Structure formats: structure tokens, C-alpha cells
């Protein structure tokens, strides 16, 4: 039986595919060339969701995840960033934007609509702080 796989296992797989002993097609890919493939995979996720096809959705989510891992691997090779950076950034962003769960706004959200409104407010505030 195959042991449980982790994100690190998927990262090692991507690194192997891009190595000298890996796949010439995968080695040839760039961040820009991956755009076509991630778009295709996201479209397939959309179709699976629209069709209520949860078995296929599981597969297609895996395909999207692998595209993300491959792009992060290429970025690592280019010394732009790595997957750990991506994970750290998204973790921090999600916590920052959910102030009603992780912060000072616990009393402000009672409905999904309240949550969405505060999410958008927090997102805009964070974008303004970046500019």
C-alpha cells in the first residue's frame, strides 16, 4: 500500500521531473509557459464542480495543486521564491483577513454576508497599506 503523501513529496516529485535525470518536457517549462496548463486545469475544476462530479473534482484539484507546485519549483530554481514562501504568505494573509475569527472583530460577524463585507474591507485595507 502506498504511504500517505505530503506536500513535500509532491515538491520532491516536481524537483525530480525538472532535474537532469527527469523529463525534458518538464525541464523546458517556464513560469510563463505554465499559464496555459494551470488555466486548463482550473477550467476542469470548474466543470467538475458545475457537474457535481466529486470523484473528478478530487482528481482535478490534484492537477491544479501540481501546477502550483511546479510553478513554485521553477520559481525556486530561478531564486524568486519557494513553496515555503508561498505557504507562509497565504497563511498570514488568510489570518489577517479573517479578523472576526483571529482578531479584534469577533463581535462584528453574525452572517455570511457580514463575513464577506468585512473580508472585502480587510482586503482593501491591506492592499492600501501595500501601495
Cell numbers placing 37: 496548463
pLDDT, averaged across the chain: 95
Kindly tell me the burial class for residue 115, based on how many C-beta atoms sit within 10 Å of its own C-beta (0-12, 13-18, 19 or more). Answer: middle
pLDDT for residue 128 is more than 90? no
Q: Three cell numbers at 59?
A: 482528481
pLDDT of residue 72: 98
With bands split at pLDDT 50, 70 and 90, how would you rate the model's confidence at 1? Answer: low
- Does 7-81 carry CATH code 1.10.10.10? no
CA distance 84 to 8: 10
pLDDT of residue 131: 59
Domain coordinates in residue numbering, the chain: 7-81
Mean pLDDT of 104-109: 90
Q: What is the pTM of this model?
A: 0.89
Amino acid at each position: 500500500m502506498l504511504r500517505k503523501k505530503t506536500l513535500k513529496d509532491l515538491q520532491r516529485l516536481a524537483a525530480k521531473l525538472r532535474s537532469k535525470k527527469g523529463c525534458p518536457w518538464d525541464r523546458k517549462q517556464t513560469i510563463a509557459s505554465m499559464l496555459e496548463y494551470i488555466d486548463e486545469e482550473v477550467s476542469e475544476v470548474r466543470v467538475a464542480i458545475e457537474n457535481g462530479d466529486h470523484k473528478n473534482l478530487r482528481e482535478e484539484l490534484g492537477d491544479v495543486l501540481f501546477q502550483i507546485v511546479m510553478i513554485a519549483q521553477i520559481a525556486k530554481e530561478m531564486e524568486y521564491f519557494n513553496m515555503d514562501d508561498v505557504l507562509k504568505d497565504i497563511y498570514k494573509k488568510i489570518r489577517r483577513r479573517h479578523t472576526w475569527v483571529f482578531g479584534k472583530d469577533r463581535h462584528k460577524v453574525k452572517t455570511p454576508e457580514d463575513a464577506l463585507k468585512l473580508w472585502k474591507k480587510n482586503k482593501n485595507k491591506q492592499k492600501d497599506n501595500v501601495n
